[in-house]
Amino acid sequence: MKVIETRNEEATREIGKILGKAVKEGAVITLNGDLGVGKTVFTQGLAQGLGVEEPVNSPTFTIVQVYEEGRMPFYHFDVYRIGDIEEMEEIGYEDYFYGNGVCLIEWAELIKEILPEKYVEISIEKDLNCGFDYRKITIKGEEYENISFG
Ligand code: ADP
Ligand code: MG
């Protein structure tokens, strides 16, 4: 487990970027945390680290957004509005989860039952005692805990 603290949006984006540069083909990354905590900011950094140049935002009307321009495909899921796990089956999630790109899933706790056996688990939390912009980022996933996040 690795814990990183940030005090502004840019720092969180940078952590995402460092992970995006290191992440390996086929990785599934789960990203949990309350609304407004910085999941999309982190995701934007990760996409940048993968070499995605177009802007990345939360997919509002689709469950998954695909970016092909980086060093490998990037599949950005936001399952916040998912009603039923069947919706994941309808979009053919297995092709993404078990494919050769990188999956990042915002609100992954809502689809626990279909997560692969192995994934990188990230959570972002606020602690208002440490200030409004403070965030605690926790990364669990052997391969990525030894990266130097600066
Ligand atoms: P989520 O996707 O988790 O709902 P967003 O990434 O869309 O959240 O928004 C995070 C908000 O929190 C942004 O408005 C951002 O400017 C703000 N913010 C303040 N401090 C931080 C920080 N340390 N890291 C990330 N975002 C921060
Ligand atoms: Mg979001």
Q: Whose alpha carbon is nearest atom 10 of ligand 1?
A: 38
CA distances from 59 to 25, 37, 64, 89, 126 (A): 22, 17, 6, 17, 23
pLDDT of residue 61: 79
Residues 67, 52: contact at Cβ < 8 Å?
yes
DSSP-derived letter for residue 23 is P
* Cβ neighbour number for residue 115 with a 10 Å cutoff: 16
Average pLDDT over residues 50-64: 89
The pLDDT tens digits of the residues spanning 94-110 come to 999 999 999 999 999 99
Which of 50, 16, 52, 53 has its CA nearest to residue 33? 16
Alpha helices in the chain (DSSP H): 9-22, 39-50, 86-90, 93-97
- Indicate whether 59 pLDDT > 80: no
Look up residue 59 and give its amino acid.
P
Look up residue 124 and give its amino acid.
I
The pLDDT tens digits of the residues spanning 29-43 come to 999 999 999 999 999
The rounded distance, in Å, linking the Cα atoms of 117 and 135 is 28
Q: Mutate which of 37, 106, 125 to test ligand 1's pocket (most atoms within 8 Å of Cβ)? A: 37
The torsion angles phi and psi of 116, rounded to 5 degrees, stand at -70, 170
pLDDT of residue 58: 80
pLDDT of residue 150: 81
2-145 CATH choice from 3.40.50.300, 3.40.1110.10, 1.20.120.420, 3.40.640.10: 3.40.50.300
Query: Which atom from ligand 1 is nearest to the alpha carbon of 34?
Result: 3
Tokens 């599934």, located at residue: 28
Residue 129 CA to ligand 2 centre (angstroms): 23
Residue 133 banded pLDDT, cuts 50, 70, 90: very high
